[in-house]
Amino acid sequence: MVEYKVVVNDVKTGKSYNVAVSGNHAASLTRMSLGDVIDGVFVGLPGYKLKITGGSDKTGTPMRSDLPGNRKVKLLLSDSLGFHEKYHGERKRTAICGRVISESISQINMKVTEYGDKSIEECLAPAPAES
């Protein structure tokens, strides 16, 4: 069974929230792509719209929106996403994941594009324990 750690960024306040997604909701996120706008129900935020902005796999390899598919490849990079040069003109061959979410992805980054009726804290608050 697939399980994702989703980091939801509230662009108004600048706060980020960690949400664990598993089961049918995680299966519906599989095969989505970077830049897609999804319904917030998948991460427990009904009424919200979220945009997928990034992610990384189990080894920490970042996803790039300009690399099609869900494969991991080694690219020769200059200063860009996945590699930052120490001196001007430095290049390095670095592993990068494609833009499509697969079972190998462990973290997905999202930002809020449309807000719902309730606040994010109210939607993500754990249910009170019954005695």
3-class DSSP assignment, residue 74: strand
Domain that includes residue 116, residue range: 3-64+100-124
CB 55 within 8 A of CB 101: yes
pLDDT (tens digit, 0 to 9) for every residue of the chain, 131 residues total? Answer: 789 999 999 999 999 999 999 999 999 999 999 999 999 999 999 999 999 999 999 999 999 999 999 999 999 999 888 888 999 999 999 999 999 999 999 999 999 999 999 999 988 877 565 65
Domain of residue 119, CATH code:
3.10.20
Domain count, the chain: 1
Q: What is the pLDDT of residue 131?
A: 55
Distance CA 39, CA 32 (A): 12
Q: What is the pLDDT of residue 129?
A: 57
Distance CA 93, CA 19 (A): 33
Q: What is the pLDDT of residue 128?
A: 66
Residue 79 belongs to some domain of the structure: no
